[in-house]
């Protein structure tokens, strides 16, 4: 994709969003050069061998970890995908902000891993001596934690709103709406809206519009899906599709429509404040998908997606 930053128009449907952010930016858990140098200077060194457990889910945490080299996998269990923490990224930071905190995942080393460990006492000294840099680090950390909490709240809010809409719909159209009709609008594998459901939503778009927003569309395509099916089998392929669907769902607000168009193609119809929010949603999906790992698959299967996006005119031909 070209790096020229031209403003899109509503007639330009296929402005491609690269997997690399258009403006260089730190990932949510990635340290800046200054932060990494500071924690590397004060943190205790720990060398970890492949397969060694750094901490277990349910343990009380007392330190934050910074990965100098190698990779650490966070295993959440309960059917949730694992996530990978790489070099210059941190994890376990919540204990520094609120004291002892129960770990919510197992942390396991892949290959030889070099860590720096920062405990609460060391962190308190840094706050006193490196207040500017620590304020920057804490602000970004809190933003990440708040975003995670907001994502959970949005999910619960969506469920509540979906329930209220469903109850209202049943009251108004009880004689017309049947279970079969609802199933026709829903993708069975992912639980998302399907193509038919998306078009039905578009027919009633005026009922759901929020003031002060514009419509935007993301098209999400899973890379090399046929190779995943061929190498790992269709059960793993279905697991991957469900995980991608969940990340698309997580990027949606309560007024957005995440859907599976078919096969390995997904879409997210959004009401956003502008192009910057469109880019941020796409970057969120790309980053969260990259961090997925599938324990039941061979060779630590990781996946990626390609995303195209556009601001949309409401009078446009949606089929096109």
Q: For the beta carbon of residue 1, count every other beta carbon within 10 angstroms.
A: 11
The reply to whether 209 and 301 lie within a common domain is yes
| Number of residues assigned to the chain | 320
Q: Is residue 288 part of a domain?
A: yes
Helices (H), 65-130: 94-98, 120-129
Domain for residue 2, yes or no?
no
Using CA atoms, how far apart are residues 252 and 268, in angstroms rounded to an integer? 7
Query: Do 137 and 201 fall within a single domain?
Result: no
User: Distance (Å, rounded) from C-alpha 113 to C-alpha 116?
Assistant: 10
Q: Given this model, what pLDDT does residue 152 score?
A: 57
pLDDT, greater one: 211 or 241: 241
Q: For residue 127, what are the contacts with CB-CB under 8 A and spacing of at least 6?
A: 134
Residue 145 has pLDDT above 90, yes or no: no
Element (H, E) at 286: helix 275-290
Q: Which pLDDT tens digit goes with each residue over 266-320?
A: 999 999 989 999 999 999 999 999 998 887 666 678 899 999 999 887 676 665 5
Q: Tens digits of per-residue pLDDT, 85-138?
A: 999 999 988 888 877 778 989 999 988 999 999 998 999 999 888 888 888 888
Q: Sheet with 305-312: list strands edge to edge.
A: 15-17, 305-312, 214-222, 265-272, 257-262
305 CB contacts (<8 Å, ≥6 apart)? 19, 220, 221, 222, 223, 244, 285, 286, 289
Asked if 103 and 215 sit in the same domain, the reply is no
Q: Is 7 part of a structural domain of the chain?
A: no
Average pLDDT of the segment spanning 208-225: 88
Looking at the fold, whether 211 and 263 belong to one and the same domain comes out as yes
**Which positions are catalytic?**
264
What is the pLDDT, as a whole number, of residue 84? 92
- For range 217-236, the mean pLDDT: 90
What is the pLDDT at residue 174?
Answer: 59
| CA separation, residue 112 to residues 49, 115, 200 (Å) | 5, 10, 52
Q: What is the pLDDT of residues 172-187, one digit of tens each?
A: 655 555 555 666 778 8
Cβ atoms 260, 245 nearer than 8 A:
yes
Does some domain include residue 293? yes
pLDDT at residue 43 in the model: 94
- Residue 250 burial (10 A CB sphere; 0-12, 13-18, 19+): middle
Confidence at residue 15, expressed as pLDDT on a 0 to 100 scale: 44
- Tell me the whole-structure pTM to 2 decimals: 0.49
What CATH number corresponds to the domain at position 62?
Answer: 2.60.120.10
- Residue 225 within a domain: yes
Do 136 and 193 fall within a single domain? no
CATH of the domain at 275: 3.30.70.270
Q: Is residue 158 assigned to a domain?
A: no
**Is residue 223 predicted with pLDDT exceeding 70?**
yes
Which residues form the domain of 215?
15-21+178-312
Cα–Cα distance between 191 and 266 in angstroms, integer?
12
- H-helix or E-strand containing 114? strand 106-119
Confidence tier at 13 by pLDDT (50, 70, 90): very low
Tell which of 94, 124, 147 closes a domain: 147
More confident residue, 7 or 186: 186
Query: Do 208 and 287 sit in the same domain of this protein?
Result: yes
CA–CA distance, 35 with 41 (Å, rounded to integer):
10
Evaluate if residue 158 carries a pLDDT over 80. Answer: no
Q: Do the domain assignments include residue 98?
A: yes
pLDDT in tens, 14-72: 343 344 344 345 677 889 999 999 999 999 999 999 999 999 999 998 899 999 999 99
| Count of domains for the chain | 2
Q: Does 170 reside within a domain? A: no
């Amino acid at each position: 994709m070209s790096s020229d930053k031209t403003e899109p128009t509503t007639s330009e449907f296929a402005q491609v969003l690269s997997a690399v952010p258009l403006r260089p930016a730190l990932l949510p858990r990635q340290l800046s050069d200054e932060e990494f140098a500071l924690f590397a200077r004060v943190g205790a060194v720990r060398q970890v061998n492949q397969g060694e457990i750094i901490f277990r889910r349910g343990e009380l945490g007392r330190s934050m970890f910074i990965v100098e080299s190698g990779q650490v996998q966070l295993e959440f269990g309960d059917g949730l995908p694992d996530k990978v923490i790489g070099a210059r990224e941190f994890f376990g930071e919540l204990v520094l902000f609120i004291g002892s905190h129960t770990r919510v995942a197992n942390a396991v080393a892949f290959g030889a891993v070099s860590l720096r460990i920062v405990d609460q006492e060391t962190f308190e000294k840094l706050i006193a001596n490196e207040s500017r840099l620590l304020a920057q680090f804490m602000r970004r950390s809190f933003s990440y934690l708040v975003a995670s909490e907001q994502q959970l709240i949005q999910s619960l809010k969506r469920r509540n709103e979906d329930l209220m809409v469903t109850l209202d719909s049943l009251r108004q159209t009880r004689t017309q709406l049947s279970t079969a009709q609802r199933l026709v609008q829903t993708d069975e594998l992912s639980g998302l809206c399907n193509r038919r459901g998306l078009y039905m939503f578009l027919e009633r778009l005026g009922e759901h519009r929020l003031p002060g927003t514009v419509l935007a569309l993301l098209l999400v395509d899973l890379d090399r899906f046929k190779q995943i099916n061929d190498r790992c089998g269709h059960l793993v392929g279905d697991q991957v599709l469900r995980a991608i669907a969940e990340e698309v769902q997580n990027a949606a607000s309560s007024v957005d429509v995440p859907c599976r168009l078919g096969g390995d193609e997904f879409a997210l119809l959004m009401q956003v404040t502008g192009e910057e929010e469109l880019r941020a949603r796409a970057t969120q999906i790309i980053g969260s998908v990259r961090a997925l790992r599938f324990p039941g698959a061979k060779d630590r299967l990781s996946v990626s997606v390609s995303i195209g996006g556009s601001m949309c005119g409401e009078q446009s031909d949606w089929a096109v």
